[in-house]
Amino acid sequence: MGVMTKFRDNTGIILWILIGSFGLLWVIMDVYDPNVATMGPRDLGEVNGEPISLDEYNSRVQYYTNAYSQQSGAAMTPEIRAIYENQVWDELVSAKLLEQKMDELGITVTDSELLSMAYGDNPDPLIMQYFSRPDGTVDRFAIQNVLTDPTYSQEALAIEIQLRQKRRQEKLSNFITAGLQVTDQQVIEEFNKRNSFASVSYLRFPYSEVTDAEIEITDADVRTYYNENKELFKTEESYRAQFVTFSTLPTAEDSATIRKELEELREDFAAAENDSLFLIRNQSTTRYNNVFVQKDEIREDYAPVLDVEEGEVTGIINLGTSAAIIKNVEETRDEIKFAVMSLAFEALPSTVDGAFEAADEFLYFATEESSFDEEANRSGLLIQEAFATKGNTFVSGVGSSQQVLNFLETSDEGDISDPIELATQFVIIRLTEVNEAGYRPMDEVRGQIETQVKNEKRKSITVEKVQAMIAANGDLESLSAASGKDIQNVDGLAASAMVLTGAGREPKVIGSVFAMQANQLSPAIEGVNGAYVIYVNSISEPAPNTLDDATASSIRAELEQQINQKYLAVWLDQLKDDADIIDNRSRLLR
């Protein structure tokens, strides 16, 4: 039965969907262990007194690990795992909060609702996805078979959990957003915005034309700007650290080993009858391409294949990040078909193991026998500086690393990390300073403030100059002649556009256009990078009777979705802020 095969093949996708619906669902079975009391504390944290167990966390992380491997065909790196671990924690916290709120509100899903989602006249989209026939109709026999046949008990349970949880969260979402409404006027305005166009001519006066000599900045200007924009100088908790590195880049010996492997494959490659299968079995980084190529179009790196006969294989070719041997599969006078057997220059396991052992040895002596500085000096390692901000995975000196950020956020000054595996190295970090969140002092940001004040004054000076020129020149042509600026013309400017042709991103200027009438000259308009004078040649707006019910309903649904998503995100953040959340990850996972 085709749908049964399809369902079996997509079981993994069904389970993946369980992570959907706000990314808060999970499939965790049989996590209760009767011996848990004898194993010590296992709670990774609490949400309003409700525990998040280590088993619960590990089950979700393992699910993501398996799903990642299935989808990518590769093992999850430590860095990617760290990202998923943070995601799992956020999901579990959010899921607990939503479950608690649904329990508090008494939101439930009855069996009859569940049956309606599966067997009703309008089945849930999940049902439609997996039980639809080629003609788009629902295969109700297949639904009945999967949901009642014991052979499909795992799949049936997965569907039930997803449908029940989805319906429950829909009820919660509807409850939260019940007071949010999109008015008819908002629908009309959005319709008009999407269907209004203008033809304009404009002059642009860049702010950069105002020289520094024309600008004067006082201490009062700096203080005023600082006080009025203090939130701009608010800083999150930040960290300063030192680190040493242990390279895992391929060594000369590693590269020589790769070349030797290829050399040993040359004879078998020449004798292979199925070149595609040979490349697959030997894990070539270049896939087989069964096509003829014009000889004069072959890239320079592959040119050596032209020097060997059909069935022969070239010597080792260096391709930069990999080495290769190339087989002349077949050739004509002007064309050639060839196969490339390539292996990337990668560090061998022994090299990676050696780097880890060196890092581990450094850690031991730095923490047990001497100090971080002393051991780095003894080992001839360069101590480098790093800086990071809470919540931002970019760490100066290191690059983007969730692992390093996790260590910094959960450690005390003076703590030294275990070896952390990054893409091309192991690093050991010592946290040297933690700076609390707050506002940067005015003196510290004075240079930044002066630049902002200078930019604001450039804007006001430019607008004043342009406004004076408009008063002396009544039309765009006269203003163009007086200023030496060329008139730019734009046809078909959409009200929904963000970019003004010839000027860049200028949403405020475009908005001003559609607040004007045809044949009207604007005052000086303050844009992002310059002041503008606009002349509206024509404006085309949709007639009121062109908004039909179907279009209005579609626009209303889109606006409601946008509003609801924004509100729900804010609501969930507020729920987290108000919750009593205990995070024991730094104690249990390190």
Q: What pLDDT score does 24 carry?
A: 40
- Distance CA(421)–CA(409), nearest Å, equals 18
**What is the tens place of the pLDDT at every residue in 180-194?**
888 889 998 899 899
Lowest mean pLDDT among 202-206, 276-280, 469-473, 546-550: 546-550
Percent of the chain, pLDDT > 90? 61
List, in sequence order, every beta strand (DSSP E) within 33-173.
Answer: 43-47, 50-53
Give the global pTM. 0.69
Q: What are the sequence ranges of the domains in the chain?
A: 2-177+581-588, 196-232+444-541, 237-249+349-436, 252-344
The DSSP result for 415-469, as a single string, is -BPPPEE-SSEEEEEEEEEEE-SEE--TTTTHHHHHHHHHHHHHHHHHHHHHHHH
Give ∠ CA 291-294-295 in degrees, rounded to 5.
Answer: 115
590 falls in which pLDDT band (50, 70, 90)?
A: low
- Distance CA(539)–CA(519), nearest Å, equals 9
Lowest mean pLDDT among 7-16, 250-259, 542-551: 7-16
Q: Which two tokens stand for residue 214?
A: 């024309």
- Distance CA(135)–CA(124), nearest Å, equals 17
Q: Yes or no: say if 236 and 389 are a contact pair by the CB < 8 Å rule.
A: yes
- Distance CA(509)–CA(534), nearest Å, equals 9
**What is the tens place of the pLDDT at every residue in 104-144?**
989 888 888 888 888 888 888 878 877 888 877 878 888 78
CB atoms under 10 Å from CB of 134, counted, come to 6
CATH topology agreement for domains 196-232+444-541 and 237-249+349-436: yes
Q: What pLDDT score does 149 carry?
A: 74
CATH 3.20.20 fits 196-232+444-541, yes or no: no
CA distances from 27 to 61, 162, 171 (A): 11, 9, 21
385 three-class SS? strand
Q: What pLDDT score does 13 carry?
A: 43
CATH 3.10.50.40 fits 237-249+349-436, yes or no: yes
Residues 6+ apart with CB under 8 A from 446: 222
Residue type present at position 291: V
- Distance CA(382)–CA(376), nearest Å, equals 7
- Whether the pLDDT of residue 356 is over 60: the answer is yes
